[in-house]
Amino acid sequence: MKVAWAISFVALLCAIVTAVPCGEHGQVVFRPALDEDEPMDLVAILEQEATAQGLELDVPSAAPHPKIAQIGWHMEDCSPIPPVITIQSVTLDPDPPMKGHNLTVRGVGTVLSDITEGTYLDVDVHIGVLKLYSERLDFCDVLRENDVEVQCPIPPGDYDVSHTVLVPARLPPAKFSIHVTGGTQDNQPLPCVNIGVSVSPFVSQMASYLRAVPQWLAAKWPRRS
């Protein structure tokens, strides 16, 4: 027995993990939850100014520190009654996901009845008690728009589905909770899933930039003798 909530999880990964719609070819289009004029832009300005002044920032040129770049996640079933799609496994590669890197999601499962046009998914995303995103999505449109290998109509059977997306390099440090439910064209329930996504804060990266502040200030406003 194998499951294909995978199908919906894989297809919705962009919208679920980043709480926004996907762009072409599975590439995430990140719509920031925070104002664009927030600390991350200040960091970029500081870096630009320091570079212009020829100051060396204590930031490695290699890949970001794993504790900064990683995204923690967990998923649990909340279906009150047996759904028409049953889940066997969902795996991520890499796990945990890395910001700015490709992420391949593989789902294995079983579809118990036909999935056709009219099937929908309800997605709600929260940061704490604040609702960030809420939308009813057309399940078949999601599959089409993200070029998922399985397309509607989906007949009953076992499925093993993989899909790759690009995780945005710029994500706000926060804990997201995602609640996904849905129904078929004839109102049979799709799986109910609760997903937790935790994006590590940029503490270490910020500290590296902030250590350059005294040098930057000294170069900007040198002391008069």
Residue 25 maps to a domain: yes
Domain-located, residue 189? yes
pLDDT tens digits, residue range 164-209?
888 877 767 778 888 999 999 999 999 999 988 877 654 444 444 4
Contacts (Cβ under 8 Å, ≥6 apart) of 23: 29
| Predicted TM-score of the model (pTM) | 0.61
Q: Is residue 225 part of a domain?
A: no
Q: What angle do CA 103, 10, 142 make, to 5 degrees?
A: 120
Residue 223 falls inside a structural domain = no
Going by pLDDT thresholds of 50, 70 and 90, the confidence category of residue 54 is low
Identify whether 36 is part of a domain. yes
Structure tokens at 63: 């890949």
pLDDT band of 72, cuts 50, 70, 90: confident
User: How many domains are contained in the chain?
Assistant: 1
Q: Which two tokens stand for residue 220?
A: 């900007």
| Residue 20 lies inside a defined structural domain of this protein | yes
- Find out whether 8 and 182 touch, Cβ atoms under 8 Å: yes
pLDDT band of 153, cuts 50, 70, 90: very high
User: Which CATH number fits the domain that encloses residue 84?
Assistant: 2.70.220.10
Residue at 224 is within a domain: no
What lies within 8 Å, CB to CB, of 207 at 6+ separation is none
> pLDDT (tens digit, 9 = 90+) per residue, 138-152?
999 988 888 888 899
156: containing domain? 5-58+65-215
- 102-124 tens-digit pLDDT: 888 888 889 999 999 999 999 99
Element (H, E) at 212: none
Residue 119 in contact with residue 152, Cβ under 8 Å?
Answer: yes
Reply yes or no on whether the pLDDT at 85 is more than 70: yes
Domain annotation covers residue 183: yes
Contact by Cβ (8 Å): 102, 166: yes
